[in-house]
Amino acid sequence: MKMKVMRLPHAEGLPLPAYQTDAAAGFDLVAAIAPETSVTILPGARALIPTGYIFEIPKKMEAQVRPRSGLAIKHGVTVLNSPGTIDADYRGEVSVILINHGNEPFVIARGERIAQMIVAPVTRVKLRETKKIAPTKRGKGGFGSTGIGETPSQASPEAGKSVASVSRKAKTKSSAKKR
């Protein structure tokens, strides 16, 4: 399958996105930041990094922007909205939202491989509203419930509560310690 890609002026001199091995599922995207500059992502911070390319994704296909495992394991840097979905009708520059979950600032230089893109078929469905859903052995169990013999609501008193309410409790406890 062929896919068109358009280089933007700030990507001049950078390589086209490329598969690194014959069996690679995704091709690498590189940082198209200004020459002789860098972007530093502090621990806990995020940054939108341009790739310098616009992709013409074929109809009935999508592109997914995914993390690079090496950045994740070595530096704690990953794609924030992973996988980021690029729809076939999007015609803007692909940029990557990176977040630094590591303990040290992470510096990105021009041309550094920052993410990978996977192109895959899209299956569209027609939704049909119903009053009843077919039962399964798993039922409503989710969030890691399979294979452990209990649902999350049985496993933890915090399970089933919103993240916001759990976070508020954590803030309340830490606020009490400061007093």
Indicate if the pLDDT at residue 58 is higher than 60: yes
Q: What is the pLDDT of residue 122?
A: 96
The single-letter DSSP state of residue 30 is E
Asked if residue 41 and residue 99 are part of one domain, the reply reads: yes
pTM: predicted TM-score of the whole model, two decimal places: 0.76
Structure token digits, residue 19: 């598969």
Q: CB under 8 Å to 150, separation ≥6 — which residues?
A: none
Same domain, 62 and 110: yes
Per-residue pLDDT reduced to its tens digit, 96-148: 999 999 999 999 999 999 999 999 999 999 999 999 999 998 888 888 777 66
The answer to whether residues 27 and 83 belong to one domain is: yes
Same domain, 100 and 160: no
In a domain, 27, yes or no: yes
Higher pLDDT residue, 107 or 171?
107
Confidence of residue 158 (pLDDT cuts 50, 70, 90): low
Average pLDDT score over residue span 23-45: 96
Pick the residue with more confidence: 128 or 173? Answer: 128
17 occurs within a structural domain? yes
Q: Identify whether residues 112 and 159 lie together within a single domain.
A: no
Would residue 62 count as lying in a domain?
A: yes
* 79: in domain: yes
Element (H, E) at 61: strand 61-66
Check residue 149 and give its pLDDT: 55
- Work out how many domains the chain is built from and give that number: 2
- Residues 92 and 19 occupy one common structural domain: yes
Residue 170: predicted pLDDT: 45
User: Does residue 56 lie in a domain region?
Assistant: yes
Asked if the model's pLDDT at residue 156 lies above 80, the reply is no
User: In terms of domains, do 94 and 148 share one?
Assistant: no
Host H or E run for residue 75: helix 69-75
Asked whether residue 114 is domain-assigned, the answer is yes
| Residue 133: inside a domain | no
Same domain? For 64 and 99 the reply is yes
The answer as to whether 136 is a domain residue is: no
Range of the domain at 163: 142-172
pLDDT above 70 for 172? no
Distance separating alpha carbons of residues 28 and 10, to the nearest angstrom: 17
Specify whether 77 is located in the same domain as 158: no
Is residue 55's pLDDT more than 80?
yes
pLDDT score for 24: 96
Which pLDDT value is given to residue 177? 47
**Rg (alpha carbons) of the chain, rounded to whole number:** 21
